[in-house]
Amino acid sequence: MIKKDTFFLTYPETKEWLITHTEGQCEIITTLNSGPSTHWISQFNFLSIHLKHFWHFIKYLQYLIIKDKAVKLAHSEGIIEKYNIDLIHFPIQSAFITRIPSIYHPHDLQHLHHPKFFNKWQITNREINYRKFCNQATIIAVASSWIKNDIIKHYSIDSEKVKVIPLAQSNEFCSFPSNNDLLLTKRKFNLPDEFIFYPAQTWEHKNHIGLIESVAYLRDNFNLIIPVVFSGHMNEFYPKILNVIRKNNMFDQIKFVGFVSLSELQSLYELCKFVIIPTKYEAASFPLIEAFYSGTPVACSNVTSLPEQAGNAALIFDPYNIIDISEAIKKLWYDKKLRKNLVEYGKKRIKLFSWGKTCRHFRAYYRLILKRNLSPEDMDLIDNNPFY
């Protein structure tokens, strides 16, 4: 019998999906309880938004009365202890209290920089959870130096505890669409011959409204009609975006295609004239990396980690300035040489990102925490400064 040395802890309802992504000396173990998506609020589709806001209001009132006791921190169910786990890696913001050494990903502290994008309970809940699990962790993993410095500043954490490990595009993304994929995608979504593309769920900080207003500005002031295609889940903020589209009479230029398949996403990257990322906050951008891999020019915001992540491979603009966004769009729309140069820079930039390197980086820290022998590569990955 082969001894397992790696375990994946997941919710019962996601086990089948995870099985297709695991092989070798690893085993999937499941929690006793279902994931957060099965919360009773999520069952009421029509009233879900209002119910969620009301529930958060009640929870915040509870916090005002009993303080931190209102936030129920998750505790280990005893499963990882049963399996004699030596180290647990929490790859998302959710974690639980355990005495076992851990690596924790708080992702970012957006709630401190843009509190208006969160209600009071969300901010309170994030703060208590993030601080607790950052303090518990042996190592805090982040995707960029900007986020590292931000966590050190706001949570007063020793800089040696926070490690920058850049992420990469999904391995599933590492292929190119066929001509048939391109044709089917263009037909399915009735795409124009030329358009710009923004793949992002409609969170407020993603700044869909700023992009739409910029395109309206180009139409009204330069008679420049630029179609924009958006992909990604349309969440509770989408109605406000729709109001801006209606107000500016932009229905003929704006297209939301929703959540798309992998081949459709790859096709959208290849079919568009360029990708634009007008976000107001980002720990690190997967669309930026995916655009580099697809050989697609990019224009992106000058906020947080994005300038460092992009290097010289993207046209940078101020996402808070409609005219600046407009100028970037107009420049990249007309300047064929600039688009070509950005594609070449992107091809060089993408070589810095790979899941293989990311995995080896984490492996080095696993060995360090567990006091295992470090290879020369391990020491090199641990000692070298991140490239962004």
Report the top-level CATH class of 6-169+355-359: alpha beta
What CATH superfamily classification does 171-352 receive? Glycogen Phosphorylase B; (3.40.50.2000)
Q: Say yes or no: do domains 6-169+355-359 and 171-352 share a fold.
A: yes
Q: How far apart are CA 285 and CA 288, in angstroms?
A: 5
Q: Does the pTM of the predicted model rise above 0.85? A: yes
Average pLDDT over the chain reads 92
Q: Identify residue 106 by its one-letter amino acid code.
A: P
Looking at the DSSP bridge assignments, the partners of residue 276 are: 299
Tally DSSP H helices, then E strands, for the chain: 16, 12
Least confident of 73-82, 98-107, 324-333: 73-82
CA atoms within 13 A of residue 56's CA, in its CB half-sphere? 15
DSSP category for residue 193: S
Residues 202-226 pLDDT 10s: 999 999 999 999 999 999 999 999 9
d(C-alpha 327, C-alpha 48), whole Å: 39
Per-domain residue ranges for the chain?
Answer: 6-169+355-359, 171-352
| SS3 letters across 281-328 | CCCCCHHHHHHHHHCCCEEEECCCCHHHHHCCCCEEECCCCHHHHHHH
User: Which residues have a Cβ under 8 Å from the Cβ of 5 and sit 6 or more positions away?
Assistant: 25, 26
Residue in this structure with the two tokens 């020019």, named with its chain if needed: 297
Helix axes 336-349, 286-294, angle to 10 degrees: 110
Q: What percent of the chain has pLDDT over 70?
A: 94
Reported as a pLDDT band with limits 50, 70 and 90, residue 42 is very low
351-371 mean pLDDT: 94
CB 250 within 8 A of CB 218: no
Q: What pLDDT is attached to residue 125?
A: 95
Q: Report DSSP state, residue 97.
A: B
pLDDT at 5: 84
Please give the pLDDT value at position 294: 96
Alpha carbon 320 to chain centroid, angstroms: 20
Token pair in block for residue 380: 């090199």
Give the separation between CA 325 and CA 217, rounded to whole angstroms: 10
- Is residue 266 over pLDDT 50? yes
